[in-house]
C-alpha cells in the first residue's frame, strides 16, 4: 500500500491521495484515488469540495503557529504527554475526570486512575494531543488502519500513515503520533489543523 497524503495550499481544498475515506456513520465512502475535501465549510457536498471556496474567497492562512513545548506529567506507572497546541477539545479525556479534570478546570494527575484506564482514555483522543509513556516507551502510534474519518459537525480525523504537505510547513506542527485532526469548518486559527472552533461557530456537515 502506498503512503497516503493530504496536500493543500492556502487557497485550495484538501487533496487526498490514496487515502480511504470513512463517513461520519463509520461506513467507507467510494472515492477516486485522488479527491478533494472541503475545508472552507461552504460545500453543498460535504465532506467533498464543490468549488465553493472560490466564491467564498476562502484563504486558509494560519493565524496561530505558536506551538509550546510538550508537557510531561510523570506518575508512578505512566507518564501523560500533552501536546497543548494540538488539543481541539474533543473531550474524551473528560470522561476520566479524576485524571484530566473538566473542560473548565483541566488537570493531569497520572496517579488518579489505573494505567489501563488512562491508556484507554488517551487512545480516544483523535488530535494526537495526548499520548503516553509506559514501561519506558513513548506510545503514540495506535491507529489500526490508514484512513480519513469524517466527524459529524467536526474535523477530519487523519489516522495511520498520512503525510501532510502544504505551503505553510504545517507538518512541522503535527503531533508526534500517527493521528491528527484537520479543520473542515473554515474557522480554525491553526489551519489546516482543527482548533475546536467548529464547536462554537455553528458548523454543520
Ligand atoms: S473543524 Fe474547523 S476548527 Fe474544528
* Per-residue pLDDT tens over the stretch 18-68: 999 999 888 999 999 999 999 999 999 999 999 999 999 999 999 999 999
119 DSSP assignment: H
CA nearest to 17, candidates 29, 35, 31, 40: 35
Average pLDDT over every residue of 94-102 = 97
Provide mean pLDDT across the span 113-133. 98
For residue range 170-198, list pLDDT tens digits in order.
999 999 999 999 999 999 999 999 999 99
The alpha carbon of 74 and the centre of ligand 1 are apart by a number of angstroms equal to 31
Close Cβ partners of 19 (under 8 Å, ≥ 6 residues apart): 4, 5, 6, 146, 147, 148, 162
**Nearest one of 63, 85, 83 to 188, comparing CA atoms:** 63
Among 70, 23, 31, 66, smallest CA distance to 47 is for: 23
Q: According to DSSP H, which parts of the chain are helical?
A: 52-55, 97-100, 115-122
- Is 80 exceeded by the pLDDT of residue 91? yes
Q: What is the predicted pLDDT for the residue at 60? A: 97
User: What's the predicted TM-score (pTM) here?
Assistant: 0.96
Asked whether residue 1 carries a pLDDT value surpassing 60, the answer given is no
Alpha helices in 93-188 (DSSP H): 97-100, 115-122
Tell me what pLDDT residue 97 has: 97
- What's the confidence (pLDDT) of residue 144? 92
- Go through the chain and tell me how many residues it has: 205
The alpha carbon of 187 is separated from its chain's Cα centroid by a whole number of angstroms, namely 14
Report the separation in Å between the CA atom of 26 and the middle of ligand 1, taken as the mean of its atom positions: 19
Q: How far apart are CA 83 and CA 127, in angstroms?
A: 9
Q: In what order do the strands lie in the sheet with 156-159?
A: 28-29, 21-22, 147-150, 156-159, 179-182
Ligand 1: which atom is nearest the Cα of residue 154?
A: 1
* Mean pLDDT, rounded, for 145-165: 97
Pick the CATH number of 71-139 from 2.20.25, 1.20.1440, 3.30.70, 3.40.50: 3.30.70
Residue 24, pLDDT score: 87
- Residue 123: predicted pLDDT: 97
Cα(197) to centroid(ligand 1), Å: 5
Ligand 1 atom at minimum distance from 187 CA: 2
CA distance 96 to 116: 12
Q: What lines the ligand 1 site, CB under 6 Å?
A: 88, 154-155, 183-185, 187-188, 194-198
Give the residue range(s) of CATH 3.30.70 domains in the chain: 71-139
**CB atoms < 10 A from the CB of 188, how many?**
25
- Cα(75) to ligand 1 centroid in Å equals 32
Amino acid at each position: 500500500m502506498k503512503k497516503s497524503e493530504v496536500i493543500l495550499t492556502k487557497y485550495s481544498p484538501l487533496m487526498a491521495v490514496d487515502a480511504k475515506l470513512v463517513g461520519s456513520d463509520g461506513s467507507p465512502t467510494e472515492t477516486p484515488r485522488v479527491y478533494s475535501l472541503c475545508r472552507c465549510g461552504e460545500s453543498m457536498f460535504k465532506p467533498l469540495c464543490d468549488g465553493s471556496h472560490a466564491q467564498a474567497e476562502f484563504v486558509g492562512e494560519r493565524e496561530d503557529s505558536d506551538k509550546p513545548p510538550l508537557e510531561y506529567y510523570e506518575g508512578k506507572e505512566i507518564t501523560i504527554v500533552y501536546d497543548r497546541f494540538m488539543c481541539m477539545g474533543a473531550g474524551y479525556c473528560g470522561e476520566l475526570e479524576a485524571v484530566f479534570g473538566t473542560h473548565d478546570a483541566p488537570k493531569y494527575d497520572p496517579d488518579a486512575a489505573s494505567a489501563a484506564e488512562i491508556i484507554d482514555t488517551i487512545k480516544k483522543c483523535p488530535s494526537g494531543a495526548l499520548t503516553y509513556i509506559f514501561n519506558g516507551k513513548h506510545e503514540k502510534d495506535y491507529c489500526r488502519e490508514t484512513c480519513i474519518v469524517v466527524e459529524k459537525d467536526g474535523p477530519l480525523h487523519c489516522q495511520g500513515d498520512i503525510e501532510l504537505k502544504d505551503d505553510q510547513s504545517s507538518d512541522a506542527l503535527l503531533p508526534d503520533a500517527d493521528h491528527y485532526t484537520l479543520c473542515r469548518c473554515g474557522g480554525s486559527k491553526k489551519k489546516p489543523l482543527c482548533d475546536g472552533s467548529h464547536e462554537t461557530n455553528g458548523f454543520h456537515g
